[in-house]
Structure 1
Amino acid sequence: MMKNPHGIVPVMLTPFTSDNRIDWEGLERLVEWYVQNGADALFAVCQSSEMQKLALDERIALSKRVVSLADGRLPVIASGHISERLDEQRTELLAMADTGIDALVLVTNRLDTDNNGTEAFRHGLDAVLSWVPKDLALGLYECPAPYRRLLSDEEFKLCRDTGRFVTLKDVSCDLETVKRRVSLSEDSGLVVINANAAIAGAAMREGSQGFAGVFTNIHPDLYAWLYRHSEEESDLRRDLEIFLALSAMAEPMGYPGLAKVYHTRLGTFLSAHSRATDYSIAERHWAVMSLLDHIHAGTEYFRQKVAERSRCQAH
């Protein structure tokens, strides 16, 4: 039986070589970095993975390799759900379902590609449920590309009541919506995981079972500490929440290229090449490299504070 994919769920990067091929050695180092830095599950082949820029054979190979590298140490979920036409979606989803993942993640805007509403969403959902293996757990992802399609309460309950869904990556970025969805999930086994850093701690206190935002590619261990201590009344918890929220504001400055630059500094990747960020972030986003320096310094500062707290509590 699979472990439920909740907790800290990094939205995985895809490392590329400088000549635009998937860097498999870099991927191996990246998976180990996630494991060593507090990940509870891995979300492969998502928007942070540049899935819209990956051919189907690349998406399949990437998913299989992540499953192999995780080697049962933590669950792997994957999407790769990008096509417009239903027949093409059937091909890609069946292929992804066969990669050994613990849950197949459906993109909400692909279930209603023209944004026509609940009936169109229901039709798309029914079609997918008729294709995919009935024993495979499913997830939902309100991916913001090509457009952000948030679930209505009716659609959330529709998915909940199938008994097939185990996780929602919530991209509402709204605390009241997260709170309402947690209540709607009841005891269904469908967990809500917020992806917005500005409300990360508050969402955890309202029942979000983890975090799956883009800065899980920078300091997942700090989000893991916050998740375990989200109810704690302490200066450390409050200060860390503020730091995590402000750091994540760097996302518009060339992500995922921004995170790839960071990982070249760590030695995870040899190249910061990105198909999605196809420009120099240093030229377009003024002082972004200095901002990364500050984010790194703040990350190390809070890691030190967390470690000091742990040592004091051990004595």
Structure 2
Amino acid sequence: MLTPYQLGGTGVALVTPFQSNNDVDFESLDRLVHFVIQNQVDFLVALGTTSEAATLSEKEKREVVRHIITANGGRKPIIVGMGGNNTAQVVDTINKTDFDGIDGILSVVPFYNKPSQEGIYQHFAEIANASPVPIILYNVPGRTSCNMEAETTIRLANDFENIIAVKEASGDFIQIMNIIHKKPDDFMVLSGDDASTLPLISLGADGVISVTANGFPFEFSQMVREVLDQSMDEACSIHYSLLEMIQLLFCEGNPAGIKALLHLRGLIDNNLRLPLVPVTEETYIAIENILNKF
């Protein structure tokens, strides 16, 4: 069973590579999984926002997860995105899932419906009661239009033993500090924003689920290890060396930027599924220019 402390460090939100005909490129997915593991990430996240899960069929989702499990070969914990804005449907998905090789789930705050804080609490209570594996809450109001407040996160952390962490991408440092300050000791707080990872860990967060770690797994993981070890000079040096690249990776949306970088690194083709499209030539060249400096 996954322990909270296995989430300390760097998790990578894996992209889903596509062929030119829009089929999933499983050969490139294998290559990416091996690349990030060999470069010392701490755990893998499948079917998160970065995976373009919203454009994958249920069959494709199962195939992607099983492929990642096989490629991983038990080397790193695997977290699978499993959320939505229909509570009953999420619970039904959990009940129908084969969790062999899956160590936990990442479940997003319900989007579009705009539930109250009590509605968010009850949504995750149902998921917690159904899930046979630990749960990471995912708060990303920029995508969901609904913020899970610190009090709700703390309430869930205290009330359910299998809710073991939160991925916080609100960008609200006051909110995140309140979670860090009031959380149970064994509840992990993970950054959901690459550029903010160093300062959040310096304030007491435990790690990150990173997009950039697809393309720079060694460097990003090393930065996280340095700041966790309170080696701030070394951590800041890596942070600032990556900062311009991180900003470029997100300037035209995620995962368009990281897919451009991975294409430049020879790991995947630069294909996305509509409604997402590749970055502009200008941004692609800018990413290439910075990559050439590493």
**Equivalent pair of 1:38/1:224 in contact (CA under 8 Å):** yes
1:31 aligns with 2:33: yes
Structure 2 matches for 1:208-247, cutoff 5 A?
208-230=205-227, 231-234=230-233, 236-247=234-245
The 3 A distance-change label for structure 1 pair 279 and 2 is: closer
Q: Which whole-Å CA distance do the structure 2 matches of 1:185 and 1:20 have between them?
A: 43
- Mapping of residues 160-309 of structure 1, within 5 Å: 160-161=157-158, 162-187=160-185, 189-230=186-227, 231-234=230-233, 236-250=234-248, 251-269=250-268, 271-276=269-274, 278-283=276-281, 287-298=282-293, 300=294
Q: Distance in 1 between matches of 2:103 and 2:182?
A: 24
SS at match of 1:141: strand
For residue 39 of structure 1, report the CA deviation from its aligned partner. Answer: 0.7
Secondary structure (helix, strand or coil) at the match of 1:48 reads helix
State how far apart, in whole Å, the 2-side matches of 1:244 and 1:118 are: 36
Normalization by structure 1: what TM-score? Answer: 0.83
Query: Does structure 2 conserve the Cα–Cα contact (< 8 Å) formed by 1:194 and 1:210?
Result: yes
Q: Give distance in 2, aligned partners of 1:96 and 1:148.
A: 28
Task: Report the counterpart of residue 87 of structure 1 in structure 2.
Answer: 88
Inter-CA distance 144–34: structure 2 relative to 1 (3 Å threshold): farther
Q: How many residues align?
A: 288
Q: 1:55 matched to which residue of 2?
A: 57
Report if aligned partners of 1:42, 1:77 keep a CA contact under 8 Å in 2.
yes
Contact residue 108 and residue 137 of structure 2 kept, 8 A:
yes
Structure 2 unaligned regions, length at least 5: none
2:11 is aligned to 9
Between stretches 205-214 and 14-23, larger displacement belongs to 205-214
Provide the secondary structure at the position in 1 that maps to 2:106.
strand
Structure 2: distance between partners of 1:174 and 1:233: 22
Say what the alpha-carbon RMSD is for the aligned residues: 2.2
Contact 1:6/1:167 (CA < 8 Å) preserved in 2?
no
Question: Quick check: which has more Rg, 1 or 2?
Answer: 1
Q: Distance in 2 between matches of 1:44 and 1:20?
A: 19
**Alpha-carbon contact 2:10-2:210 (below 8 Å) kept:** no
Residue 312 of structure 1 aligns with which residue?
Answer: none
SS in structure 1 of the partner of residue 280 of structure 2: helix
Q: Bigger CA drift: 18-27 or 150-159?
A: 150-159
Letter in 2 for 1:206: L
Q: How far is the alpha carbon of 1:48 from its aligned partner?
A: 0.1
The equivalent of 1:118 in structure 2 is 117
Gapped regions of structure 1 (runs ≥ 5): 301-315
Structure 1 residues 144, 178: CA separation in 2 closer, same or farther (over 3 Å shift)?
closer
Secondary structure, aligned partner of 2:12: coil
**Post-superposition shift, 1:276?**
4.8
Aligned CA distance change for structure 1 residues 149 and 233 (closer, same or farther; 3 Å): same
**Is contact 1:63-1:99 (8 Å) kept?**
no
Could you list the per-position Cα deviations for residues 40-75 of structure 1 after superposition, in whole angstroms to 9, with x for gaps in the alignment? 000110000001111112112212221222111110
Deviation at 1:288, TM superposition (A): 0.9
Q: What's the TM-score once normalised by structure 2's chain length?
A: 0.89
Residue aligning to 1:22 = 24
Q: Distance in 1 between matches of 2:231 and 2:179?
A: 23
